[in-house]
Structure formats: C-alpha cells, structure tokens
A = this chain, B = another copy of it.
C-alpha cells in the first residue's frame, strides 16, 4: 500500500511542479504585458482626483494579478498535497469500517476546501487592507473607499488565469490516462479497472489528484474570488450612488459572508462523526445520506448567519427594510444552489428515469447509447436555465424594491440584489467543495485497495464511497456552473462600469442590432465551441499516445498478464504529463488571446469609422454570448458525461445483462466519451466563463 501511495505521490508532485512551472512562466509574461498596457493607459477622472498615477495603478494591478495567481497555485498545491496523503489512510481505514473511511475522506476533503475558501477571503482582505492604508483611502484628496474594489480585479484575473491552465492541464492529464488505461485494459485485455497489471494505472491514479483535486480547488477558488470582487465593486458603486454615509458595510459584506462559510461548513463537516460502534458490523449506512445530512446542517446554519450578516452590514437609515430584501436575495441564492444540486442528481443518478432510459438504449448498441446520451445532455440544460432565469429576475426585483434610491430617486439596488443571491449560492461553498474533494480521494483509495490486492470486502467499501463520490462530483459541477452564471452577470456589469469610467462617457447599453456587435456575439459563442473542441481533442490525442504505450508494454513484456513482470508505470506517467502540458497551451491561449484580439481589431475599425466605443461594445457582446453558450455547453458536457458514467455503473449492478454483456460494452463506450466531456471540457468552461469576465475587465484599456 505504502509503495503504491508513494508512486502516486511522486507522480502527482512531479506533474504539479512542471505544470505550475509552465504556468508561472506564462503568468510572469502576462504580468509584463499587463504592466506595459497599464503604463500607457488613460487615467480615470477618479484616479486623477485621487492622485493615483498611471504607474501606481499599473503596479497595483500587476501585484494583484501575481498575488491572485500565487494564491491559486497554493490552493491547488494544498488540494493535491492533502489528497495524495489521505488516499492511503482512507484505504487502510476501509479495512476497518466504512464509516471511518468516509470520515477520513470527508475530513481530508474538508481541510482542502476550507483552505480554498480561506485563501480567497484572506488574499482579498490583505490586498484590500494594504491598499486602504497605503493609498490613504478616505482621507481628504485621495481615493474614495468605493473605488477601491476596482483595484482588486487583477487578483480575480490572476486566479482565473491559473485556474484555467490548472483545469485544462489537470483535466487532460486525468482523462487521457483514464481513457487510455480503460481502452486497452478493460476493453482489449478484459482486466478490471485499477488492476496492477495495467501499465497506465498509476498515471490514472495520479490524474485523480492533479485533475480533480487540484483543479477543482483552483476552479472554486477563482469563483469565490471573482464573486467577492465583483460584489464589492457593485456594492461600492451602489453605495456611492445612493450617497450612503458609511459604504464599508456594503463593500465588506462579501468577505463576511464567506468568513461565515468557513464556520458553518466546518460545523457541517464535523457533524459527520465516526460512531465507534460501527465495528459491531452494523449494516453499512448510505454514505450519500450521511453527506446529505451534513449539507442540511450547513444550509440551516448558513441561512441564519447570512440573514444576520445582512442585518448587521446592510442596514441603512435611508432604506430601513433593505436588509430584509437582501436577506431574501440570499435565500434565493441558497435555494438555487439546492435546486441545482437536485437537478444534477436527477439527470445523473441512476435512481432516476433519465439514466435508466440511457442504460436501456445501450441494449440496442453503441450508436443508440451515444445518441441517447447526447440528447439527455442537451435536454438537461433546460431546467437549470429556467431556474437561473427565475433567480436572476427575483433577486433583481428584490434588490430593486429594497428602497435604495439614487440622487434622482430611481431604485438602484437591483444588480446588488443579484450579487447577494450569488453570495447566498456560494455561502455553502466550502461544504460543497468538501463533497467534491471527497470523490477523488475515495476513488484513489479504491485504486490503492485494488492494486494492493486487498480482500473483496474492503474493495466493496471503497466502491460504495467511489460511487457516492461520482454523484457528488457531478452535483458540484452543477453548483459551479450555476454560480458561474450568476457571477458572470455581475462581472459583466462591472465591466460596463469600468469602461464607462475610463472612456469618460456613459456606457449603459450593448445593442445587438448593430452588425459589429452581433458579430461579437457570434464570435463569442464560436469561441466556446472551438475551446470545447480543442479541449476534447487534446484528451483524445493524449489518450491515443497512452494506448500505444500500453499496447507496446503488453506486447514487449508478455509476462505482465501473469504477474510475472512488472509494468513500467513511470513511462506512462511521463508520457501523459508531457503530452497534457503541451496540449493545454492551445485552448488556453485561445481563451486568453481571442477577446483581446477581437477587442483591439474592432477598436481600430471603430476608430476609422468614427465610433469610439465600438471595441468595448463588441467585447461586451462577445462576453455575453460566450457566457450564455458556455453555461449551456458546460451543462451539456457535464450532465451527459455524468449520466454515461452512471448508466455504465447501473449496468454493472447487474441490470440489462450486467458486466461483460453487449449492453455493458456500449455503456463503456458512452463512459469513455463522457470522460473528456465531464472532466476536461466541461469544468474548463466554468473557468473560461469567469476568466473571460476578468480578462475583459483587466484588458479594457486595449479596447478603448
């Protein structure tokens, strides 16, 4: 056991070092680009009035960017570090009791999750405090506190930049290894998953750690950071517009909400206790029910603390009942999170109709299985979109009618209401992330158990945990995409505010009836399709390299199949690592370069045709359409992938002929297709959506 775990640890840490080495080089390069852009940008009227020079503004943005990138890297490292150490402990606990194994996995996942949320809160708090003191905010003649959050945008961009490459590289790694191992091992040679004879098995287990743990950590870190910053910007703008005397409550509110998240989620995690009497052979309790119980505890506490925070920070004399409206917005967000989790479960759990129908379609062959899975995925976008629509509108109207009005008496709280709903949605993020991190740890533990040839009963326990992990992983993705959808709407508003402030003129509308703006939208949606294509094909190509290597080893070392020879695990690890690093560059570069190029080209076109804001408008349309298409595409990819995976699992329980039947073979094909969908392209799209929002904010000077 220890030996296997060590091999996994070495592989994961080796890949992490190389991957983050590459990422940090790119980040430094980008930092230089940002620096030079900002040194040549215009200054805003606010900056001029506060005496914030061009150079200061440039250094601030770059410093925030680098800090965001660094923090994101640290969270990724912690996620991986914990996970490669917890896996072996979980597998040895599984020899004693299911409950204990569950508890260890949850605690380990919880630790990483708390670090992720904590880093986001602390990073932003430090930046905020530093700038506050350094720039002498609120003292006469200098910057106003309401303008401060805009300086933090670089942090969000840094976080999303690292998250994008972490998710792409890790996602390609984990799925290429998985698909490659399965194609030769399971399909061609007929050996079980995670069998020690498969030369790619260690690479597969390493993938769980670098792909799922490290990458999802970076993803949610980025979500929370982006959401905190955009909510701070919106809160600041609104407070200024409403002439609220002390706006700091509105600005600091997001930080407080997420600090409470740390507390309530910890309580939720600790509520999952190991009952010592489980050794007396009690029937194995459904781990999903245990996790769900913890979630309920977290949600109840979160509703209480959230309402308390709104009353504490958002109470103003101007609108005495505003805090209540905002508390309701938070409730909308919490309910949305809950409904999203439920919808994802409905479409991906084999207890429900959709996955059963999908499994049934496997009985008529590979082709019908794929058609049914694609249809299921496409169809599953409908309910989440309806839910998101209802929450945006209701949160907006709750905010709008909160009683907060600007100088001219117009209600202004609408957008902030949406922001509060987003915070509500993310107010249980640490617990959700715990459930997610738990999955790959359990998966890994199962792998170690299988590889070290433990008795069947131990494997059974880890199998149950693994199946639960699959469901929680799928639901977390639903949660992540829901919050991305809400957050991007906020970031979009922040972008328009920023453009208006730099362009010295009002920028309130993005009119899609203008041909160029329409084309911006077309390009934005296209970007999503192309990005998904490249992410999927990267997995396909890398998997083919793995397939060739595994086939080669089986041919050259015929003794492997009889356990007489040991496969060369290291070669597969090396091949996957170098291929996934190479393959992550193309889609990543596409995501970063295209909004900048589009914005710049249309800025030039606008310049020659006498329309000064054209570039910014086209980028706004690109951002909006990319967001909408990205949400739908990510929902499609995640759900289809999850459903295929569980349809296969359903058949493996003995339904429709069970393991080895033709239905099972067709279901395995579906699972293989679903792997890059749900673990590479889909999650990368979450990050992409938010990265587009932050990159347009930071790069706005290029378009103007």
Contact = CB atoms under 8 A, between A and B. Distances in A.
Interface in A368-389: 368, 370-372, 374-379, 381-382, 385-386, 388-389
Contacts of A377: 533
A543 B363 CA distance: 13
A199 interface: no
A525 interface: yes
Q: Specify which of A361, A536, A609 lies most central, judged by the most chain B CB atoms within 10 Å of its CB.
A: A536
A589 to B, nearest CB: 14
Given A509-B509, A516-B393, A672-B367, A628 B418 contact: no
Contacts of A183: 364-365, 367-368
Contact of A513 (B509, B532, B632): B509
A518 interface: yes
A113 B544 CA distance: 45
Range for the number of chain A residues in contact with chain B: 35 or more
Interface string A505-522: 000111111011011011
A381 B529 contact: yes
Given A509-B509, A522-B385, A522-B631, A371 B621 contact: no
A616 to B, nearest CB: 12
A372 B540 CA distance: 7
B492 A513 contact: yes
A392 B526 CA distance: 16
A659 interface: no
A183 B539 CA distance: 29
Contact of A544 (B368, B543, B544, B636): B368
B368 A543 contact: yes
For this chain, the copies found in one complex come to 2
Interface in A158-188: 179, 183, 187
Contacts of A543: 364, 368
A120 to B, nearest CB: 26
Interface in A626-648: 628-629, 631-632, 636
Contact of A393 (B378, B509, B515, B539): B515
Contacts of A397: 609
B361 A540 contact: yes
Nearest to A676: B371
Interface in A412-455: 414, 418
A20 interface: no
A625 interface: yes
Chain A: interface secondary structure?
A: helix
A366 interface: yes
A458 interface: no
Contacts of A381: 526, 529-530
A534 interface: yes
A693 interface: no
Interface in A180-205: 183, 187
A516 B377 CA distance: 26
Given A374-B536, A385-B526, A669-B366, A628 B631 contact: no
Nearest to A188: B365
Given A366-B669, A525-B632, A625-B628, A518 B392 contact: yes
Contacts of A179: 367-368
Nearest to A511: B509
Interface in A517-556: 518-519, 521-523, 525-526, 529-530, 532-534, 536-537, 539-540, 543-544, 547
Contacts of A509: 509, 511, 513
A248 interface: no
A65 interface: no
A540 B370 CA distance: 10
B513 A385 contact: no
A395 to B, nearest CB: 9
B370 A530 contact: no
B513 A512 contact: no
A539 to B, nearest CB: 7
Interface string A245-284: 0000000000000000000000000000000000000000
A489 interface: yes
A15 interface: no
A323 interface: no
A60 interface: no
A367 B665 CA distance: 11
Contacts of A366: 366, 669, 672
A121 interface: no
A396 interface: yes
A201 B602 CA distance: 54
26 contacts: A187-B365, A365-B672, A366-B669, A366-B672, A367-B668, A368-B544, A370-B669, A371-B676, A375-B540, A376-B537, A378-B533, A378-B536, A379-B529, A379-B537, A381-B526, A389-B523, A392-B518, A393-B519, A397-B609, A414-B515, A489-B518, A510-B513, A521-B628, A525-B628, A625-B625, A625-B628
**For the complex of A and B, 7 pairs with smallest distance between CB atoms:** A367-B672, A378-B533, A375-B537, A379-B533, A385-B526, A366-B669, A509-B511
Given A368-B543, A376-B537, A510-B513, 7 more contacts: A371-B672, A375-B540, A378-B529, A378-B532, A489-B515, A489-B518, A525-B628
